[in-house]
Amino acid sequence: MPTGQRRFFLLPRSTPRIPGGLAFPFLAAALLLAGCVRSGPPADLVIINGAEPESLDPGLLTGQADGRVALELFEGLTRYDPTNAAPIPGLAESWEISPDGRVYTFHLRPHAVWSSGEPITARDFVYSWLRVLNPGTASEYAGVLFYLKNGEEYCSGNIRDASQVGVKAMDDHTLRVELKNPTPFFLDLCAYVTLRVVPRQAIEKYGDRWLMTRPVPCSGAYALVAWRVNDRIRLRKNPRYWDATHTRSEIVDLLPCASANTALNLYETGAADVVWDKNLVPGELLDILLKRPDFHSFSYLGTYFIRFNVTRKPFDDARVRKAFALVIDKKRIVEKITRGGEQIASGYTPRGIPGYDTPEGLGYEPETARKLLAEAGFPGGKGFPSFQYLCDTTSRLHEQIAVELQDMWQGELGVHLEIRKLEWKTYLRAQGDLDYDLCRSSWIGDYIDANTFLDMFMSNNGNNRTGWKNPRYDELIREANAQLDRIKRGNLLRQAETMLVREEAPIVPLYYYAGLMYYRDSEIRGIFPNLLDVHPIQAIYKMSPKSNAQRSTSEMPAARQGTGLSVHNRPPTTDR
Instruction: Report pLDDT digits (tens) over 328-340.
Output: 999 999 999 998 8
Scored b (16 or more CB within 10 A) or e, 275-299 reads bbbbbbbbbbbbebbbeeebbeeeb
Predicted confidence band of residue 39 (pLDDT cuts 50, 70, 90)? low
What pLDDT shows up at residue 63? 87
Q: Cα(485)–Cα(479) distance, rounded to whole angstroms?
A: 11
- Distance CA(459)–CA(472), nearest Å, equals 10
In this prediction, residue 332 carries a pLDDT of 97
Q: Which strand (E) or helix (H) includes residue 459?
A: none
Whether the predicted pLDDT of 493 surpasses 60:
yes
Residue 559 has pLDDT above 80, yes or no: no
Coil, strand or helix at 521: coil
Q: Which pLDDT value is given to residue 573?
A: 28
Determine the CATH number of domain 75-197: 3.90.76.10
State the pTM of this model.
0.78
In total, the chain counts a number of residues equal to 576
Mean pLDDT of 541-565: 44
Q: How many CB atoms lie within 10 A of CB 29?
A: 21
pLDDT of residue 234: 98
The fourth-level CATH superfamily of domain 13-72+206-294+519-576 is Periplasmic binding protein-like II (3.40.190.10)
User: Would you place residue 355 in the very low, low, confident or very high pLDDT band (cuts 50, 70, 90)?
Assistant: confident
Strands 541-542 and 417-422: unpaired
The bridge status of strand 45-50 relative to strand 251-256 is: parallel
Q: How confident is the model at residue 214 (pLDDT cuts 50, 70, 90)?
A: confident
> Do 202 and 67 touch, CB atoms closer than 8 A?
no
Say if residue 429's pLDDT is above 60: yes
d(CA 127, CA 475): 30
pLDDT tens digit sequence for 287-310:
899 999 999 998 889 999 999 999
Rounded to the nearest angstrom, the gap between the alpha carbon of residue 215 and the centroid of all alpha carbons in its chain is: 26
Coil, strand or helix: which one is 152? Answer: helix
Q: How far is Cα 441 from Cα 308, in angstroms, rounded to an integer?
A: 10
Where along the chain do its domains lie? 13-72+206-294+519-576, 75-197, 301-514
**Which residues does 136 contact at the CB level (< 8 Å), separation at least 6?**
none
Task: Report the pLDDT averaged over residues 189-217.
Answer: 96
pLDDT in tens, 148-189: 999 999 999 999 999 999 999 999 999 999 999 999 899 999
175 forms beta bridges with: 106, 169
Q: Assign 29 a pLDDT band (cuts: 50, 70, 90).
A: very low
Computed over every residue of the chain, the mean pLDDT equals 88
What pLDDT is recorded for position 364?
97
Range 210-230 average pLDDT: 95
pLDDT of 26 > 90? The answer is no
Q: What pLDDT is attached to residue 258?
A: 87
Q: Who wins on pLDDT, 376 or 17?
A: 376
Q: Is the pLDDT of residue 263 over 50?
A: yes
CA 203 to chain centre: 24
| Res 291: pLDDT | 92
Which residue(s) pair with 355 in the sheet? none
Cross-strand pairs, 179 = 148
Superfamily of domain 301-514: Dipeptide-binding Protein; Domain 3 (3.10.105.10)
How much is the pLDDT for 427?
95
pLDDT reading at 436 higher than 60? yes
Which of 112-121, 186-195, 446-455, 549-558 has the lowest average pLDDT?
549-558
Q: Using the CB atoms, write b or e for 221-240: b if 16+ within 10 Å.
A: bbbbbbbbeebbbbbbbbeb
- Write down the pLDDT at residue 544: 59
- How confident is the model at residue 431, as a pLDDT? 96
User: Is there a contact between 543 and 525 (Cβ–Cβ < 8 Å)?
Assistant: yes
The mean per-residue pLDDT over the stretch 207-233 comes to 95
